Amino acid sequence: MKYLICNLKAHKDYFDMVIYRDNLRDFHYPNLELIVAPQTAYLSLFMHDNLSLCTQNLDLYQDKCLTGNTSLKALKSLNVKYVLVGHYERRKYYKETETDLITKINLALTNNLKVIYCVGETIEELKRKVDFQILEKSIARILNNVPSNLLSNIIIAYEPTYLIGHNTTHDIKKITENINFIKDLINNYYEGQVKVVYGGNITPENITNFLDIPNLDGFIIGNACLNPANLAKIIYNMTNEER
C-alpha cells in the first residue's frame, strides 16, 4: 500500500471545492490510500467519499471549548482519519514549538486519529551538511515522547523546506540518502512500522524519478494536487501496474 497525501492548504472557495470533490469521485486508485487535507470549512464535503480525510491542524486546547477552535469530537464526526502536524509553514508563521507538536500528536493518537508528521532541513542546514542531525533531532524528540504501541499510527512526511512551493531541481541522490537515513533511524531505535513519504515540488512530470526509491511509502503534494487533471496523472503514475 502506498500513500498520496494532498495538502490543499487555503486554496479554493466553496464552489471550486465542490467541483474538485466531484472530480475526485471519478478517480480509481488500486493499492493506494488517497488522503485529502482541505481547509477545515470544507471537511464535510468529503466525509462520505472513497478517500481518507485529513485535517490540516489540531487545536492545542482540547479541554476548553474556545472561540475559533475545532474540537476533536467535531473532527471525528466528519470521519477525519488523519491530522497534519509540524508543517514548515506552521512552524515558521505560527511559531509552533516541539512541545506544541508533541501535545498535538499525543492528542491525536490517544483519540484514534493517525498523524502525518512533517520534517525537513533548510537550505542553510543542507549547505552546512547538518541535515542528518536536524532530521534525527526532529524525529527523535517526537517519537521519544509517544507511546511505543502507537508509533505505527504515524507517517513521517519528509519535505526539504527549500523545495516547498519552489520549482527547484531535485537532488534525487541526496533525497534518497535522507529517506534511507530516516528509515534506518526508525528501524534501529523504535518499535512499530512508521511509514515515510516525500514532498517538495512533486509534479506529474517528475514523480517517476522518485517511484523507484525502495524505502519510500508515498508522497505528500501541494500545488500539484490543486488541478484534478494533474492529480489524476500522479495517481496513474503511482498505480500503473507496468512499473
HSE of 99, CA atoms in CB hemisphere, 13 A:
1
Q: What angle do CA 188, 189, 192 make, to 5 degrees?
A: 90
Catalytic residue among 33, 48, 87, 191: 87
87 is catalytic: yes
Range of the domain at 222: 2-239
Strands (E), 149-230: 154-158, 195-198, 218-221
Residue 119, judged by CB atoms within 10 A of its CB (0-12, 13-18, 19+), counts as buried
pTM of the entire predicted model = 0.95
- In CATH, what number is assigned to the domain containing residue 147? 3.20.20.70
Q: Is the pLDDT of residue 243 over 60?
A: no
DSSP code at position 9: T
Chain segment 171-202, per-residue pLDDT in tens: 899 999 999 999 999 999 997 789 999 998 89
Residue 148, judged by CB atoms within 10 A of its CB (0-12, 13-18, 19+), counts as exposed
Cβ atoms of 179 and 158 within 8 Å: the answer is yes
HSE of 170, CA atoms in CB hemisphere, 13 A:
22
> Which residue shows C-alpha cell 471525528?
76
Cα of 58 vs its chain's centroid, Å: 14
Q: What angle do CA 58, 61, 62 make, to 5 degrees?
A: 75
Chain segment 23-73, per-residue pLDDT in tens: 998 887 888 999 999 999 999 999 877 899 999 999 999 988 899 899 999
What mean pLDDT comes out for the span 72-101?
95
Total domains in the chain come to: 1
β-bridge partners, 3 = 33, 218
Strands (E), the chain: 2-7, 32-37, 52-55, 80-85, 114-119, 154-158, 195-198, 218-221
Catalytic residue among 89, 121, 159, 241: 159
Phi then psi for residue 101, to 5 deg, are -65, -40
- What 35-41 contacts at long range (C-beta under 8 Å, 24+ apart), as own/partner pairs, is 35/3, 35/4, 35/5, 35/6, 35/81, 35/82, 35/116, 36/6, 36/8, 37/5, 37/6, 37/7, 37/8, 37/82, 37/84, 38/8, 38/12, 39/8, 39/9, 39/10, 39/12, 40/70, 41/14
Task: Give the three cell numbers for residue 17.
Answer: 471545492
How much is the mean pLDDT over the chain? 92
pLDDT band at 163 (very low <50, low <70, confident <90, very high): confident
pLDDT at 168: 67
pLDDT at 242: 41
159 is catalytic: yes
Chain segment 103-120, per-residue pLDDT in tens: 999 999 999 999 999 999
